[in-house]
Amino acid sequence: MVPERYILAFEAVPREYFVLKKYRNWAYVDQPLPLIKGATISAPSMSLLLCYHAELDVGKRVLEIGTGSGYQAALITELVYPRSSDGTLINPFREKIVCTMEIDPELYELGKSNLKKTCYLDFIEIKLGDGTLGWPDKNAKFDAIIVTAAGKEIPPPLIKQLNINGVLIMPIGTEYWQVLVRIRKVGPRENDIKKEHLEDVRFVPLRGYYGL
Ligand code: SAH
């Protein structure tokens, strides 16, 4: 059973703002929908499952690779920021704790504009660039990294940017089928990791230096 806070996060994000206009009527159907340039917004249950497997909780610093529509980043935001007594999201941290990277300039603009319209951009840092090389600020460390495109291996720069006890979730396999893998960093060295195979999935291919 997925804990209630994940369901509340799903209920809080207006998914109709993140799907293309022509698919608005399908916004709450549990299936992936096409975006532009071959990207897809995952089924809402899959977006939630990624958050669940990444063990998101209030205060965790999260990096998402593959902004796409911005929907996953919005869900992450709902799970890691606290709320004031009137129920609005607040940022009591010194910086934004949700970061997302997109490699394609048009998808970057799409995601950014969706996140702006829905006001989530106040809580999210978004960058255009190859996420397989990690977040450009070399000192940045994350408690969770969620890769929303499929690769053949875990990009080593991402393992470097995980905090100890941090987890990374990523679909690993070929272009047509993948296994969702969870890596947990258990020590300071790059190979201090534990690996789990979670379930079979299908995502669009990861591009970039460590892409498919
Ligand atoms: N998380 C998105 C799903 C996006 S589909 C959502 O909720 O809508 C996967 C996305 O990953 C695509 O937008 C694709 O352009 C992007 N992508 C692929 N390779 C990438 C890379 N190396 N770095 C950053 N983004 C990448």
**pLDDT 10s digit of each residue in the chain, 212 long?**
778 999 999 999 999 999 999 999 999 999 999 999 999 999 999 999 999 999 999 999 999 999 999 999 999 999 999 999 998 999 999 999 999 999 999 999 999 999 999 999 999 999 999 999 999 998 899 999 999 999 999 999 999 999 999 999 999 999 999 999 999 999 988 789 999 999 999 999 999 999 99
In this predicted structure, what is the pLDDT of residue 46?
96
Contacts of 34 (CB under 8 A, 6+ apart): 20, 23, 40
Q: Which residues are near ligand 1 (CB < 6 Å)?
A: 39-42, 47, 65-66, 68-69, 71-72, 101-104, 107, 130-132, 148-149, 204, 206-208, 211
**For residue 175, what are the CA distances in angstroms to 169, 178, 197?**
17, 8, 18
In this predicted structure, what is the pLDDT of residue 191?
84
Mutate to test the pocket of ligand 1, among 104, 106, 114 (most ligand atoms within 8 A of CB): 104
In this predicted structure, what is the pLDDT of residue 190?
79
Token pair for residue 159? 């393992």
In this predicted structure, what is the pLDDT of residue 197?
97
159, 185 Cβ separation under 8 angstroms: yes
Token pair for residue 19? 């799907």
65, 147 Cβ separation under 8 angstroms: yes
Per DSSP bridges, beta strands 178-185 and 193-201 are: antiparallel
Residue nearest to atom 15 of ligand 1 (CA): 104
pTM: 0.97
Q: Which CATH class is domain 4-201?
A: alpha beta
Place of tokens 């998914």: 15
Which is the closest atom of ligand 1 to the Cα of 101? 24
Q: Find the 39 Cα to ligand 1 centroid distance in Å.
A: 7
**Active-site residues: which are they?**
42
Give the Cα separation of 98 and 147 in Å (integer).
13
Contacts of 141 (CB under 8 A, 6+ apart): 61, 161, 162, 163, 166
Give the Cα separation of 185 and 129 in Å (integer).
25
Mutate to test the pocket of ligand 1, among 51, 75, 207 (most ligand atoms within 8 A of CB): 207
Give the Cα separation of 139 and 173 in Å (integer).
29
Residue nearest to atom 11 of ligand 1 (CA): 66
